[in-house]
Amino acid sequence: MVTLDLHHVASPAVRDLLHLINQPDFDHAQQQIERLGGCTEPVRLTGQTTTVDTATGEVLRSYAASEEPTGSLLTGCGNRRASRCPACSRTYAADTYHLIRAGLFGGKTVPDTVRTHPRVFATLTAPSFGPVHNRPDARPCRCGTRHDPTDPLLGTPLNPATYDYAGAVLFNAHAGALWARFTIYLLREIATRLGMTQKAARAVLRVSFAKVAEYQKRGLVHFHAAIRLDGPDGSTQPPPPYATVAVLTDAIRVAAPRARISVDSAAVGERELGWGQQLDVREIAAFGTDAEFSDQAVAAYVAKYATKSADASGTLDRSLFCRTCQGRGATLLPHGTALPCSACDGTGQARPLPRLAVARHVRQMIRTCWELGRLPEFAELKLWKWAHMLGFRGHFSTKSRRYSTLGALRDARRTWRTEQARAHAGLPEPDPTTTLVIGHWDYNGAGYSPGANLLAAAVWHRRELERQFTAEGGC
């Protein structure tokens, strides 16, 4: 009989997992990983918290991260990218779905009467910076080929030498500012159509919205937005009856082309950035109708792109920017290899990083960010920091203040988790009027040990199988 010593044949991760399983507090460590739902890169915190009776000064209970098996308190990374953390990105998508849906359907502190407000789904696209390979409906691409949907050439320039890479990067960098300018013009156009001043319009109605950015195959962002008209106090009030869907739709179609931003540089010349000619505006119908754009369908569509848009663009999911010296010594070689700062590698010499695993078009977008980022007139755009996002530096999902709120949803989740932990520990419910919680926490890194990482992956895969089983009608 042959006996195998797993410590010699197993990988370091498996050996670490075996060591973890044999620890007396393994059950506690497993519960901590289960609670994170399979987060791949949790934040490790060190510190303590103490609950004190404010009347007597008595310490009711205390907790220290050193009591945990890992010596740290683990919290979810909260990353919205599926390529970085599938578990947290799913939570982010679910939150975005409920955020959008509540603003259209009601719920989460938003009254259900919001369904009667004028609502549209608008898509604002990027302009053209040169012809690219595409899939026209009834004719071949300009290159003469009918491209397959998975063809990597889709979205890439027909002639990279004449493609306006500088304009494309600058559009991405100014996309957030263009949206802000669009919202200003939108209110002006609504007021004009109602025959009143902007001040008078603000007294009777409010424009609320929630939007998400999506990358096109050509590496440019465009915005999908649910836009709603409310009364002056937001979702709790309807707008006046003369503020209709037709008024909102017409105002959007006129406001979008008017939103422009001028850029002047000796390196790229004088440019005027604006939205593309393709503008789509459709009324959002109530759930349960046969219309394609129902409130629930819009919420599901927007939530999908809240986590997948950047991953689907073929760009990087990590920054190339050196945070230590703010990128002053970083370089990007012509073939796409990134060099870190010689001042930051600890040896006095720059170490080459692996070749960027991206398409040539994306690599050129990144290189253009690097080149423009060196110009003082573009310093405020922080193009080095956002080169991995092809210059786009805005949030992927944003909303106006009165559209709806994630606060109620996240407060409910936090309360539920606190109650679960309190009940598990057998602690009494604290009285907020007589107790004070004092805590101090410090960042101690991110990620698991190799063995704990295997456990987290198992938790994620098990939960995915459970979701698939439920979706397929299992019980």
What pLDDT is attached to residue 79?
82
Evaluate whether 253 touches 347 at the Cβ level (below 8 Å). no
* Rounded CA separation 63/68 (Å): 10
Give the chain's radius of gyration (CA, Å): 26
* Distance set, CA 293 to CA 78, 120, 226, 290, 307 (Å): 30, 9, 11, 9, 21
Closest CA to 453 of 27, 21, 33: 33
What stretches in the chain show pLDDT beneath 50? 1-9, 310, 328-330, 333-340, 342-354
Q: Which amino acid is at 67?
A: E
Evaluate whether 104 touches 61 at the Cβ level (below 8 Å). no
Evaluate whether 228 touches 114 at the Cβ level (below 8 Å). yes
* Rounded CA separation 475/470 (Å): 7
Q: Which residues contact 171 (CB under 8 A, 6 or more apart)?
A: 126, 127, 129, 178, 220, 273, 391
Pairing of strands 331-332, 206-215: unpaired
What pLDDT is attached to residue 1?
41
Residue 26, classified by CB atoms within 10 Å of its CB into exposed (0-12), middle (13-18) or buried (19+), is middle
* Rounded CA separation 281/249 (Å): 7
Closest CA to 344 of 321, 363, 369: 321
What pLDDT is attached to residue 287?
60
Q: Give strand pairing partners of 127.
A: none
What pLDDT is attached to residue 354?
45
What pLDDT is attached to residue 194?
96
* Rounded CA separation 440/195 (Å): 56
* Rounded CA separation 1/160 (Å): 65
| Six token digits for residue 402 | 């009165």
Query: If phi over 0 gives left and psi between -120 and 50 gives alpha, with beta otherwise, what is residue 346?
Result: left
61: number of Cβ within 10 Å: 15
What pLDDT is attached to residue 6?
47
* Distance set, CA 110 to CA 102, 116, 241 (Å): 6, 13, 20
| Six token digits for residue 295 | 């409130």
What pLDDT is attached to residue 291?
63
* Rounded CA separation 210/189 (Å): 19
Closest CA to 74 of 448, 462, 455: 448
Question: HEC states along the chain?
Answer: CCCCCHHHHCCHHHHHHHHHHCCCCHHHHHHHHHHCCCCCCCEEEEEEEEEEECCCCCEEEEEEHHHCCCCCEEECCCCCCCCCCHHHHHHHHHHHHHHHHHHHHCECCECHHHHHCCEEEEEECCCCCCCECCCCCCCCCCCCCCCCCCCCCCCCECCCCCCCHHHHHHHHHHHHHHHHHHHHHHHHHHHHHCCCCHHHHHHHCEEEEEEEEEECCCCCEEEEEEEEEEECCECCCCCCCCCCHHHHHHHHHHHHHHCEEEEEECCCEEEEEECCCCEEEEECECCCCCCCCEHHHHHHHHHHHHHHCCHHHCCCCCCCCCCCCCCCCCEECCCCEEECCCCCCCCCCCCCCCECCCCHHHHHHHHHHHHHHCCHHHHHHCCCCCHHHCCCCCCCEEECCCCCCCHHHHHHHHHHHHHHHHHHHCCCCCCCCCEEEEEEEEEEEECCCHHHHHHHHHHHHHHHHHHHHHHCCCC
What is the pTM (predicted TM-score) of this model? 0.81
Pairing of strands 260-265, 269-274: antiparallel
* Rounded CA separation 190/228 (Å): 12
Evaluate whether 132 touches 239 at the Cβ level (below 8 Å). no
